[in-house]
Amino acid sequence: MSIIHDFDSPGIHAMIIRPKLNWFQLLFVWRGSVLPQLLPRLGLIFALSIAAIFMHDHMRSYPLGLGTPPFALVGIALAVFLGFRNSASYERWWEGRKLWGALLNTSRVLARQALCLMHPCDAAQARRFLGALGALAHALRHQLRGSDALADLAPRVSPDLHARIAVAQYKPALILLWLGEWVAERKREGVLDGYATLAMEHNLNALSDVIGGCERLLATPLPFSYSVMIHRTIYLFCVMLPFGLVDGAGLLTPLFSLLVAYAFMALEAIAAQIEDPFGMEENDLALNTICETIEAALHDMAADPDFERVPSTATPARDYILD
24 assigned to some structural domain: no
Residue 200 domain flag: yes
Distance CA 265, CA 36 (A): 12
What gap in Å lies between CA 297 and CA 134, rounded to an integer? Answer: 10
Q: Which of 278, 314, 284 is nearest to 32 (CA)?
A: 284
Q: How far is CA 10 from CA 7, 31, 155, 322, in A?
A: 8, 19, 21, 20
Does residue 4 fall inside a structural domain?
A: no
Residue 62 inside a domain? The answer is: no
**What domain count does the chain have?**
1
pLDDT at 118: 79
Compute, in degrees rounded to 10, the torsion defined by CA atoms 76, 79, 84, 87: -150
Backbone angles phi, psi at 283, to 5 degrees: -100, 10
Q: How far apart are CA 205 and CA 201, in angstroms?
A: 6
The span from the CA of 106 to the CA of 113, in Å, is 11
Decide: 237 and 264 in contact? Cβ < 8 Å: yes
Rg value, the chain, Cα: 26
Q: Is residue 265 part of a domain?
A: no
Q: Looking at residue 10, what is its pLDDT?
A: 42
Q: What is the pLDDT of residue 19?
A: 60
Please check whether residue 134 lies inside any domain of the structure. Answer: yes
The alpha carbon torsion through 234, 235, 239, 241 (nearest 10 deg) reads 10
Q: Is residue 317 part of a domain?
A: yes
pTM over 0.75: yes
Note down the domain range covering 317.
92-222+286-323
Give the distance, in angstroms, between the CA of residue 199 and the centroid of all CA atoms in the same chain. Answer: 31
Number of neighbours of residue 50 by Cβ within 10 angstroms: 13
What kind and span of H or E run contains 4? Answer: strand 2-6
Q: Which of 94, 92, 15 is nearest to 285 (CA)?
A: 15
Per-residue model confidence as pLDDT tens for the chain (323 residues): 444 445 454 444 445 555 666 666 667 777 777 888 889 999 999 999 998 888 877 765 655 556 677 788 888 888 888 888 899 999 999 999 999 999 999 999 999 999 988 776 677 888 899 999 999 999 999 999 999 999 999 999 999 999 999 999 999 999 999 999 999 999 998 888 899 999 999 999 999 999 999 999 999 988 888 888 898 999 999 998 888 888 878 889 899 999 999 999 999 999 988 899 998 887 889 999 999 999 999 998 887 665 656 665 543 333 332 22
Residue 120 lies in a domain: yes
Sign of the C-alpha dihedral, residues 194, 200, 203, 207? negative
What residue type is assigned to position 291 of the chain? C
- Measured distance CA(260)–CA(241) in Å, rounded: 9
